[in-house]
Structure 1
Amino acid sequence: MSEATTDRTTTSPRSRRISRRVAAIAESATLKVDARAKALKAEGRPVIGFGAGEPDFPTPDYVVEAAVEACRDPKNHRYTPAGGLPELRQAIADKTLRDSGYRVEAAQVVVTNGGKQAIYEAFATMLDPGDEVIVPAPYWTTYPEAIQLAGGVAVPVLADETQEYKVTVAQLEAARTDRTKMLLFVSPSNPTGAVYTADEVRAIGAWVAEHELWVLTDEIYEHLVYDDLETGSLPVLCPELADSCVVVNGVAKTYAMTGWRVGWLIAPRDLAAAATNLQSHATSNVSNVAQRAALAAVTGDLSAVHEMKRAFDRRRRTIVSMLNEIDGVVCPMPEGAFYAYPSVKGLLGRAYDGRVVESSADLAELILEQAEVAVVPGEAFGSPGYLRLSYALGDDDLVEGITRLQKLFA
């Protein structure tokens, strides 16, 4: 075989099996940990999982009944508008005004297959190759991957526990370049549970407005703010940003509907129309049955939401207290969402059964192997030296799981 033939063979289309764009995506660390925990449970091991950000409550009965009725109605067996059922889009607009005081039109709402699709579609609609997005860290694992898939560049800005995991305007300004197009703003935060106060939100909003940037704000945990902390929605506290702001939300966390896959984005009308056009070619409409369930959720009262919040509040106090009893662990009290994000730097460099643990990723492996507890290492969130533990699990499992950690590190 000639050299020319060999070259043609090694560079043939079939030799490039996976695109560089997709090959560069990191696997979701949270889903990976959750899947491994479930696999070990299936093998009969008593694994307790703190990995997935998923409420342990069932979806409220009235929501399930709405889905049952929707299944029986033939109109839900057909295609519907790509951007969402008109009545659901209007209900989301009404709910947004009711819950956050933000007045929007139904035409600004795009119903998506969960919050992840909303985030990706927003970035894909707005970013050109090389556009930079400032991403406060620790960040949820999907954000930088969605930015990269959309052709943008994620620029992390790290805030540690000494700052209550909240970035400052000075840090944001230091990260801004002439290529910066957007700020990603998340409050309450996954993975840290940090919540920006109303004054902090206004200060960041003023900075965004001054530099004429776009901002994407993820409000999926809007109802999970504790201790009567004074906060609010970015475009409400900073109304000058209404025409340069995209809001992402969904029913997953608020109504214990993670598996129903209904989220949405709210954007200026031209951007919402462009995102709808993208969705029409990517997935078309979200499942009509799930949309009918979401309609029941957002038009119903918030009594089930408040009940879940009371349980999460109780659990956050328990988990933080127990974690801080471990020598080498420092866990701030989260003010929102349902995650604890302790620093475990004091546990690193130690030997456990002859094995020296050098990183929080190593520590998470050790915890799963020896304590049969699943946690997510800080490397997944852009901040090595930490662990994320979701307290969206039963009280008894929570106490048992942290007790195992106390024994492991005693």
Structure 2
Amino acid sequence: MPHTLLKTRESLREVRYDIRGELSRRARELEGQGRQLIRLNIGNPGAFGFRAPEHLQAALAAHVGESDPYTHQQGLPLAREAVADLHRRRGTPNASAERVFIGNGVSELIDISLRALLNPGEEVLLPSPDYPLWSAATILNQGRPVYYRCAPENGFLPDPDEIEKLVTPRTRVLVVINPNNPTGASYPRALLQKLVAIAAKHKLLLMADEIYDGILYDEATFTPLAPLAGDVPCLSFGGLSKVWRACGWRVGWAVLSGDPVTVGDYHHAMDLLGALRLCANVPAQFAVPAALSGPETILELTRPGGRLHESRRAVVECCAASEHLSLVAPAGALYAFPEVIGDAAVDFDDQAFALELLETEDVLVVPGSGFNVPGSRHFRVTLLPEAGLVREVFARIDRALGKHAARARARHVA
């Protein structure tokens, strides 16, 4: 009897998530054969020996006995109040617990926030490169991603004039990822003010993905978007995953700011969708007040001599020493986004190179095209390994690129 294939949702054909895609599946096959791989594809601190701070662990453990019931769909009141207090200190207008939504990580909240807003065919302005979950959530919620360019020659910062030219009557949202994943760019205040002006002029909702807000290097600074937005509707995302190294706890938050009348219906829509999934993971929400009012723990990792700072320095130095790589040094976040240059860039296919690197050098990276960069010559690596391992990885990358360059030169001679 012939099999009848079970059809899946057609829009899934447009969705990609190369961070955990085909290359990652091939990596699991190789590991099943006994290969020892260096996985640089995911910004997952716990996989590299980082732990959530002890005071967060203690807060979670102390309240396990109170975690059995569902909580309010927007989250535990004490967790929401802690987030609201953080935003009041930042200057977010009308910050209150009622405007805070706790989710199973920022990923869930991105999906809910777009589902609450988009009608079929409406447009979302996204950076290119972007974090691909944003594109996927837009498509799966029947929206259309429209990309604004963040070019390496401009430090991976966008051009506001180019962004405004992309606005149409169908545009609903302007997304800002700051500090940026995958590039590590940190957006200056003046640029953010121009983006707010665009949103105000065209009546767009600002969505600020600020999950890496505390991970900065050297003299880089973080400017939150909501205080600049004022009455312009803005949804600001943060969470425990990165700054507090608690990815598996799945605790993220979104804070809705802007004119209360303007955002009223949208608030109710977010609340309804939150109620339909009942509530977010309860135990880890008890760690939110401890995180936001407790001791600072990320600076010891990001300041000179700290583990993340030294790993970043290793990436910067390795790229500077390579004839095959160029790098805009990341100002923040947990990634670098090197570009392949010179002979190695001739006929370069980032997907093919990433597969070759995996097969021949046991290193897993994410191709730049996975971040919605057409014709990419980039790849993303995480800064989470120890500096020594980072240098070993880039020696392998340089070796693979050297072979690619030699083949390109041989074709040219022939």
TM-score (norm 2): 0.87
8 Å CA contact 1:193, 1:339 repeated in 2: yes
Q: How far apart are the structure 2 equivalents of 1:240 and 1:279?
A: 24
Pair 1:279 & 2:274 matched:
yes
8 Å CA contact 1:348, 1:359 repeated in 2: no
Deviation of 1:39 (Å): 5.7
Q: How far apart are the structure 1 equivalents of 2:37 and 2:287?
A: 32
Partner residue in 1 for 2:378: 386
Partner residue in 1 for 2:290: 296
8 Å CA contact 1:37, 1:48 repeated in 2: no
Partner residue in 1 for 2:392: 400
Letter in 1 for 2:371: F
Within the candidate set 135, 140, 153, 2:126 is matched to 135
Partner residue in 2 for 1:317: 313
Pair 1:50 & 2:40 matched:
yes
Q: 1:59/1:257 Cα in 2 relative to 1: closer, same or farther (>3 Å)?
A: same
Within the candidate set 331, 355, 358, 1:368 is matched to 358
8 Å CA contact 1:107, 1:272 repeated in 2: no
Deviations 1:313-341 (A, max 9, x none): 22212102102322221111111112111
Q: 1:308/1:101 Cα in 2 relative to 1: closer, same or farther (>3 Å)?
A: farther
Deviation of 1:133 (Å): 0.9
Partner residue in 1 for 2:407: none
Matches within 5 A, 1:229-378: 229-241=220-232, 244-268=233-257, 270=264, 271-281=266-276, 283-302=277-296, 304-310=297-303, 311-346=307-342, 348=344, 358-378=348-368
Q: How far apart are the structure 2 equivalents of 1:396 and 1:226?
A: 19
Q: 1:190/1:197 Cα in 2 relative to 1: closer, same or farther (>3 Å)?
A: same
Partner residue in 1 for 2:408: none
Deviations 1:352-407 (A, max 9, x none): xxxxx640111111111111111100110111211011112222321221122233
Moved more, 224-233 or 357-366: 224-233
Q: 1:332/1:97 Cα in 2 relative to 1: closer, same or farther (>3 Å)?
A: same
Within the candidate set 211, 226, 232, 2:217 is matched to 226
Deviations 1:199-238 (A, max 9, x none): 1111221222122221111110111122333541112133
Q: How far apart are the structure 2 equivalents of 1:256 and 1:230?
A: 20
Letter in 2 for 1:392: L
Q: How far apart are the structure 2 equivalents of 1:231 and 1:265?
A: 18
Partner residue in 1 for 2:260: none
Partner residue in 1 for 2:61: 68
Q: How far apart are the structure 2 equivalents of 1:203 and 1:232?
A: 13
Partner residue in 1 for 2:92: 102
Q: 1:158/1:347 Cα in 2 relative to 1: closer, same or farther (>3 Å)?
A: farther
8 Å CA contact 2:157, 2:185 repeated in 1: yes
Q: How far apart are the structure 2 equivalents of 1:369 and 1:280?
A: 46
Deviation of 1:348 (Å): 4.6
Deviation of 1:127 (Å): 1.1
Matches within 5 A, 1:76-95: 76-95=67-86
Pair 1:174 & 2:165 matched:
yes
Q: How far apart are the structure 1 equivalents of 2:343 and 2:250?
A: 38
Partner residue in 1 for 2:20: 31
Moved more, 36-45 or 257-266: 36-45
Partner residue in 2 for 1:5: none
Q: How far apart are the structure 2 equivalents of 1:198 and 1:301?
A: 27
Q: How far apart are the structure 2 equivalents of 1:31 and 1:125?
A: 27
Q: How far apart are the structure 1 equivalents of 2:343 and 2:125?
A: 31
- Number of matched residues? 385
Q: How far apart are the structure 1 equivalents of 2:336 and 2:103?
A: 28
8 Å CA contact 1:345, 1:386 repeated in 2: no
Deviation of 1:46 (Å): 2.5
Letter in 2 for 1:267: L
TM-score (norm 1): 0.88
Q: 1:340/1:347 Cα in 2 relative to 1: closer, same or farther (>3 Å)?
A: farther
Moved more, 262-271 or 131-140: 262-271
Letter in 1 for 2:334: F
Q: How far apart are the structure 1 equivalents of 2:325 and 2:359?
A: 19
Deviation of 1:145 (Å): 0.7
8 Å CA contact 2:209, 2:236 repeated in 1: yes
Deviation of 1:27 (Å): 4.2
